[in-house]
Structures are given as C-alpha cells and as structure tokens.
C-alpha cells in the first residue's frame, strides 16, 4: 500500500467528509475553532491513529441508520399492504359468490377434458415411438412452378434471353445443338460433379446394400458447408447415392468415394479416366463432391456426361426423386430434391443435377423431353436463386415454339 503524504491527504478528506455527515459527535469536534490547528500539528503516525478513529466513528453509524431506514420501509410497506388488502378481500368475497355456478360447471366437464387430453397424449407417443424404415423415398408431382420462374413469349426463331453465363440445348436424337451460349468456356461445375461420382461408383459394381459410416474425413473443411448427416451416421451405398444426387449431400458423396477400393485418390483417378472415355477433353476432377473449384468443365463436355448418366437406371431414379424421409440416428429428417422442376407436371425429366459454389454460380443440368424428344439442358453460372430454373423454363418454351 502507498503511504505517501498524498495518500493520507486524500484518505483524510474522505474520512472527514463522510464522518462529518454521519456522526454528530465528530461533526461537533470538527466545528470547534481549534480543530484545524490540532490537525496541522499532528505527526504522521498520530494523524494515522486519528484517521482510524474518524473512520470508525463515521462508518459505525451506517448499520444503525440502515436498520432504521429498513424499519421505516417495512412499516410503510406494511401499511400499504393492509390498505390494499381490505378492498381486495371484499372483491374476492363478491367474486367467489358469483363464480359458484361456473365452478360447478367446470367440475362436470373435467373428466371429459382429462380423457381427451389422455387420448391425444397417447396418440402422439404412439406416432413418435414408431420405428419406420430407415429410408422412405417417394416421387411426388406437385403444382406447377409460378410464372416468374421463367416464361418465354417471343416469336419462333428469336433468342430465349437466358441469364445464365453459359448454356447449351442439344437434341439427343440427332446431336444437334439447338441453342448455345459460351458452350466451350471452361468453368467450375460445383455439384454437377456428383453425376460423374455416381457413374464411377456404379461402374465398380460394389454391393449397394453395404453399410458404412459418415466420418470426420467426410466433413467439408474447404468451404465449411453444412450437413444434416452427423458424424457416425450409418448409410448403405444405395442411400448415400440417393442423398448425393437428390439433395446434393456432400458428406454422402464423399463417403461414396472414400469407400471405393483405393480410397479417394483411386476414385478421383477413375473419375478422370471416365471423363476421357466420354470425350470430355476439357474437364478435370479433383474431388467427388464438387466443393473444389478445380473441378472444371464446359457446357459441351457436361452435355456428354448427362447423356451418359441417363443410361444408368439408379441415377435416373435417384436424381429425379422428389423427396425422401430418412432416419438419421433416431431422428426422422426430410430431404428434398434441389431441383424444384421435378415436382412440376410440365416437365418430363429423366436425369437432373444442380450445383452451387461461389466460383461456379448456380448451375443446372437435365435430360428432359421437349415435344416428346429427349434433350439435354446445360445452364451454368446463373445469378440469383431461381435464375437457373427460370432459364430452363424459358429454354423449354423456346424449343417448343421453334421445334413444333
């Protein structure tokens, strides 16, 4: 502690101030004419003793005054409570008299109410305690998309006015490119990659009912994307394929590659070999999810990949499934297709896949029928959450008008 003169002066001033206010004896001493002279003549040690006396004399009165104030507050509160209690008691008596018929009526209805509540409770418990199969998938057709998702009303032969940076429409029956825009530009393709992942996995003829777990290796550390498949979730290869294609689950896609003979390195090598076999000369794959922006291709190459993927029945089934309920470690979770057009009656889609990372923008590829002719749609780097869907509708309307 600092005992320099400044400390004593400050502490003394504090003691004199509060001691003067709180202690009447000290106030009388300090008001005497000789007090100032005595304080000046005191030595430092004597001053410190006097200071302790002053502090004791001043602050010992605090508990007494606090107790007095507390008693006064209690008395006033008690008086106020008693003042309010009288009219409240009268109101309670009158209310009690008038409430007697209502009380008897409530007692009569209580058994029915309790029985209804018990029945409802038992119904909820039965529903939540049921154990459905781990995966319940179903295709559903729903209402048509709203008009603002894309409508082309121009005359035949005019441009559909797409907002995607790159686009391509190919007639699969003759290979003719009906519409193209930046079709040869190499760009990141995001989760469109998962179509190649599915083909490579199916080409290996691995058992589809084989089970494996989602591990820490499947967690996305590159983009930090979220997933509802917690580490430790058990999947079959069939379930992982469905989740990867329908709802673009990155952990499911990565688990498919990780459980390939030779692991991820062998799987990625097989992806690039498959690309070369399909004539995708401007494509490169670095991972099975598409989270790596090094997965690149062109609209022309992707049209070849979509056409090849349409020959795989499991890919057609999984990629066009509307939604599925899945039991993830005891919790039923619903997954939906990332392409809302699979729920439209205006579309006959055979294969589809969406994709998005910041470097690639919004992407969409499909194999669908237009005027009963199978066609491949490729839409890359669209801006806005629904632009790719709007472009698909505009391109379809344009094709229907020009090829009718």
Give SS3 for 245. helix
Give the residue numbers annotated as catalytic, written as ranges. 191, 194, 248
Using a 10 angstrom Cβ sphere, with 0-12 exposed, 13-18 middle and 19 or more buried, the burial of residue 228 is middle
First to last CA, the chain: 98
210 is written with which tokens? 């084989």
**241 phi/psi in degrees, rounded to 5:** -65, -45
H-state helical runs in 157-262: 193-203, 237-246, 250-258
Distance of alpha carbon 249 from alpha carbon 242, whole angstroms: 9
Closest CA to 339 of 247, 204, 213: 247
DSSP symbols for 323-375: EEEEEETTEEEEEE-S-GGGGBTT--EEEEEEEEETTTEEEEEEEEEETTEEE
H-state helical runs in 130-249: 193-203, 237-246
What length is written for the chain? 404
Task: Dihedral sign for Cα 65, 66, 69, 71, please.
Answer: negative
Q: Which residue has the tokens 């509802």?
A: 228
CB contact at 8 A, 52 and 14 = no
């Amino acid at each position: 502690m600092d005992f320099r003169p400044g400390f004593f002066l400050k502490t003394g001033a504090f003691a004199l101030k509060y001691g003067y206010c709180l202690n009447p004896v000290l106030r009388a001493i300090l008001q005497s004419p000789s007090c100032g002279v005595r304080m000046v003549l005191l030595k430092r040690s004597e001053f410190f003793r006097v200071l302790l006396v002053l502090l004791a004399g001043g602050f010992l009165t605090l508990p007494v005054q606090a107790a007095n104030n507390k008693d006064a507050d209690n008395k006033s509160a008690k008086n106020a409570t008693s003042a309010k209690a009288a009219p409240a008691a009268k109101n309670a008596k009158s209310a009690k008299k008038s409430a007697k018929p209502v009380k008897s009526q409530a007692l009569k209805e209580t058994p029915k109410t309790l029985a209804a509540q018990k029945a409802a409770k038992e119904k909820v418990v039965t529903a939540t305690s049921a154990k459905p199969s781990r995966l319940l998938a179903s295709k559903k057709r729903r209402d048509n998309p709203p008009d603002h998702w894309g409508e082309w009303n121009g005359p035949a032969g005019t441009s559909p006015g797409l907002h995607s940076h790159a686009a391509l429409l190919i007639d699969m029956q003759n290979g003719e490119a009906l519409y193209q825009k930046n079709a040869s530009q190499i760009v990141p393709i995001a989760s469109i990659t998962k179509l190649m992942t599915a083909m490579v996995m199916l080409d290996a003829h691995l058992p589809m009912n084989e089970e494996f777990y989602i591990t820490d290796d499947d967690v996305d550390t590159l983009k930090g994307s979220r997933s509802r498949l917690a580490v430790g979730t058990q999947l079959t290869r069939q379930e992982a394929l469905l989740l990867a294609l329908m709802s673009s689950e990155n952990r499911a896609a990565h688990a498919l590659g990780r459980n390939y003979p030779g692991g991820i390195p062998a799987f990625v090598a097989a992806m690039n070999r498959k690309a070369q076999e399909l004539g995708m000369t401007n494509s490169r794959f670095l991972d099975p999810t598409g989270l790596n922006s090094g997965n690149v291709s062109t609209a022309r190459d992707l049209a070849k990949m979509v056409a090849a993927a349409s020959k795989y029945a499991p890919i057609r089934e999984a990629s066009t499934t509307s939604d599925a309920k899945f039991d993830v470690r005891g919790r039923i979770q619903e997954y939906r297709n990332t392409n809302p057009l699979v729920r439209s009656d205006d579309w006959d889609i055979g294969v589809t896949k969406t994709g998005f990372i910041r470097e690639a923008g919004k992407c969409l590829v499909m194999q669908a029928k237009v005027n009963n002719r199978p066609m491949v749609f490729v839409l890359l780097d669209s801006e806005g959450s629904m632009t790719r869907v709007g472009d698909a509708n505009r391109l379809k309307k344009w094709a229907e008008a020009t090829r009718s």
